Homo-oligomer: A and B are copies of this chain.
């Protein structure tokens, strides 16, 4: 199956390549389709590949020694991920899970050096991704260290909305199903506390949720709850 080079057209890491190079990059890639709930790679596995998410949503999570889950981040379409090699790691530090059906380009890790050398802008973009993640991790640490659960949950929903929102008639909808449990794993909390908070916010018309679908009705008031 031949991939269409326009796939890479608007993706930052490959934006500065000409058509021939884009074709070359695609010829080196394998494409993977991953069903919701299936993992792309698992924490501790050999980092044999690096990845670009073409479509869908990825959840990155880790387990602590007691088996409690902590969700690190969600990846929107268009981003590089699983690039352990950029930081000299040879195993994946976390598990990547498809939340919705995903379309992913994967390249063997051995090609990393080549990409960095040969493709203009690739390394800069890759390290920009790392820089953003580091910065998000820093913010996360600040929040966990200084804020209450309510503020952290508000911030988590706000972030999901901003990074994965799609407009709808009643407000902004988060683009993939999110349970109370998931939010608690994103915030270091429990599903009960999250449920109580969401119930309250629903009464106040700040959010609305049905089953696993969350809509933000009033971004401004949600933002106020974060501090």
Give A residues with C-beta under 8 Å from B: 62, 64-66, 68, 70, 72, 86-89, 93-94, 124, 127-128, 130-131, 133-135, 137-138, 140-142, 144-146, 187-188, 227
Q: What would 14 A/B residue contacts be, using CB atoms closer than 8 Å?
A: A62-B138, A65-B227, A70-B141, A70-B142, A87-B128, A87-B130, A87-B134, A88-B128, A94-B138, A130-B130, A130-B134, A134-B134, A144-B188, A145-B187
A145 and B188 contacting across the interface, CB-CB below 8 Å: yes
Contact residues in B for A134 (Cβ distance below 8 Å): 87, 93, 130, 133-134, 137
Q: A68 — which chain B residues lie within 8 A by C-beta?
A: 146
Dominant SS among interface residues on chain A: helix
For the complex, give the distance between the alpha carbons of A177 and B93 in Å: 33
Q: Tell me if A146 and B66 are in contact (CB < 8 A).
A: yes
Give the docked Cα–Cα distance between A214 and B128 (Å): 40
Chain B residues with Cβ under 8 A from A87's Cβ? 127-128, 130-131, 134
Among all A-B residue pairs, the 4 with the closest Cβ atoms: A145-B188, A87-B131, A144-B144, A137-B137
